[in-house]
Structure 1
Amino acid sequence: MLTLVFLDELLAMAAFGVWGWQHDPRWLLVWLLPLVAMFVWWAFASPKAPRGGPVVRPVAKVIVFGLASLALWEAGRPEWALALLVFSVVVNGLAQLPAISRLPTDALRGDSARTR
């Protein structure tokens, strides 16, 4: 599940690059937009986000994935936009299940199902 969440994050960054490719200055936006999105993700949405929290983290995720889907839609890829949006909702929704949401903190502590 964590691999799918990571894949979802990479797809969102790629979506910003696709949108950047459609606009001038193409060479700048294709790199700059994903970097800005990565910074926002690091600062507000990642598990170790310095500015994250129980309210800020989900809001940042909705903004990043929503804008990534909107970017694909605006870039003329509505089918990709819808697919990314559905995938993001499903994957992030499943990641909130208690058994799955504990995995990152268990890994940091060194816990695993095999050692219990």
Structure 2
Amino acid sequence: MVAFGWCVLLLVFVDEILAVAAFGAWGWQQSPQWLLVWLLPLVAMTVWFAFASPRARYGGSLRRPVVKIVVFGLASLALWDIGRHELAIGLLVFSVVVNALAQVPAIARLPEQARSMREPAA
């Protein structure tokens, strides 16, 4: 179960990268292209870091899942808007599945268990 759990958490990270890439792809199709192609992914990463990452400063039991839904939903919508309908649906389904699996208690505890094993006993 531990190896499966770490694979799920790796897929969650891949999902986050795919969402950022979707924002970049949408920005590439817009004007001014040179600005949006890097600005949109940067904004998405900043919002994710502040509200949805495991150590988010402003995360919480309500904010974290809401921001995740908004980010993955907008990333899928961005792909849909540029005509990549199959990718949009695929990203949305992939996001729902891997993030749901990551909520399984045995998997959700893995990062904290790993951190506690690395810290020296006082």
Same fold (TM over 0.5): yes
Q: TM-score range by the shorter chain?
A: over 0.9
User: How many residue pairs are counted as aligned between the two chains?
Assistant: 111
CA shift digits 1:2-45 (9 cap, x unpaired): 11000000000000000000001101101000000000000000
Unaligned runs of 5+ in 1: 112-116
Structure 1 segment 42-61 matched on structure 2, within 5 A: 42-61=49-68
Residue in structure 2 matching 1:103, options 85, 96, 110? 110
Residue in structure 2 matching 1:73, options 60, 76, 80? 80
TM-score (norm 2): 0.89
- CA separation in 2, counterparts of 1:59 and 1:107? 26
Structure 1 residue 107 displacement after superposition? 1.4
Identity across the alignment (%):
68
Q: Which has the higher contact order (CA 8 A, sep 6+)?
A: 2
Map of 1:41 onto structure 2 = 48
Q: State the SS of the aligned residue for 1:110.
A: helix
Does residue 20 of structure 1 match 2:27?
yes
TM-score (norm 1): 0.94
Q: State the SS of the aligned residue for 1:54.
A: coil
Unaligned runs of 5+ in 2: 1-7
Map of 2:38 onto structure 1 = 31
Output the aligned Cα RMSD.
0.8
- CA separation in 2, counterparts of 1:11 and 1:23? 19
Partner amino acid, structure 1, of 2:51: F
